[in-house]
Amino acid sequence: MTKVRDPRSFEEAALAVARSFGAAAAAKFVDRGDATIRRWTDPDKDGQPTIHQALRLDVEHLKAFGTAPFMQAYVAQLQERAPAAMRSRSVEDIFSEAMDVPVEAGKLIDLLRRARGARSASGARLSVSEKAALQKEIKRLRDEIDDVEAALKKS
């Protein structure tokens, strides 16, 4: 059964890297075994990569696929935990963040695919946790779009 992860979690970031490269290839980037990479993807197990390991994985993922999953998770968690401080960004920063809108839309589509897939926890119906994860990702996408609209009004 597929475990539902918070789309902004480090476990989800590790899973994105493992899906993109495979656990064995990702493990080589950080001189660890593939079991370690798989453990990092599991929200029910202890252990996460160090900041240095996450950076190495992000660098390789950015080179190969154009995204940095751990950085995205870190920024999302920072925005969630310090929203007032993050809202005081400059207009230029918000425009650069607008580049994340397609990434967030992609995450939403990925969640929908997994929720509707054959391995979904509830089969053809959405489970409570799948609905919650989808609602969180929709809110995140709306927040990104709202930030861009606010920047346009200020310019």
Tell me the pLDDT of the chain averaged across its residues. 82
Which residue, of 17, 34, 67, is where some domain finishes?
67
CATH of residue 56: 1.10.260
Amino acid type, 121: A
Rounded to 5 degrees, φ, ψ at 32 are: -130, 170
Q: Are 50 and 40 in contact (CB under 8 A)?
A: no
101 and 63 share a domain?
no
pLDDT at 90: 61
| Dihedral (Cα; 73, 76, 79, 82), 10-degree rounding | -40
* 34: in domain: yes
Task: In whole angstroms, give the CA distance from residue 103 to residue 125.
Answer: 25
Instruction: Quote the pTM value.
Output: 0.58
* 80: in domain: no
pLDDT, tens digit (0-9, with 9 covering 90-100), for 34-78? 999 999 999 889 899 999 999 999 999 988 888 889 988 888 888
* 75: in domain: no
Give the count of domains, the chain.
2
Instruction: Write out the residue range of the structural domain in which residue 93 sits.
Output: 89-155
pLDDT, tens digit (0-9, with 9 covering 90-100), for 127-139? 787 788 888 888 8
pLDDT at 87: 62
Which residue, of 37, 67, 97, is where some domain finishes?
67
- Is the four-CA dihedral 31, 45, 132, 112 of positive or negative sign? positive
Cα 33–chain centre separation: 23
Quickly count: other Cβ atoms within 10 Å of residue 34's Cβ. Answer: 15
Joined together, the tokens standing for residue 85 give: 């401080």
Residue entry with tokens 């197990």: 45
Q: How far is CA 49 from CA 36, 38, 85, 119, in A?
A: 9, 11, 26, 27
* 15: in domain: yes
* 14: in domain: yes
Residues in contact with 47: Cβ distance below 8 Å, sequence separation at least 6, in sequence order:
36, 39, 40
pLDDT at 154: 66
pLDDT at 1: 47
53 and 23 share a domain?
yes
* 17: in domain: yes
* 124: in domain: yes
pLDDT, tens digit (0-9, with 9 covering 90-100), for 92-126? 666 666 767 777 777 777 777 777 765 655 666 77
Task: In whole angstroms, give the CA distance from residue 36 to residue 28.
Answer: 11
Which residue, of 67, 100, 121, is where some domain finishes?
67
Cα 20–chain centre separation: 13
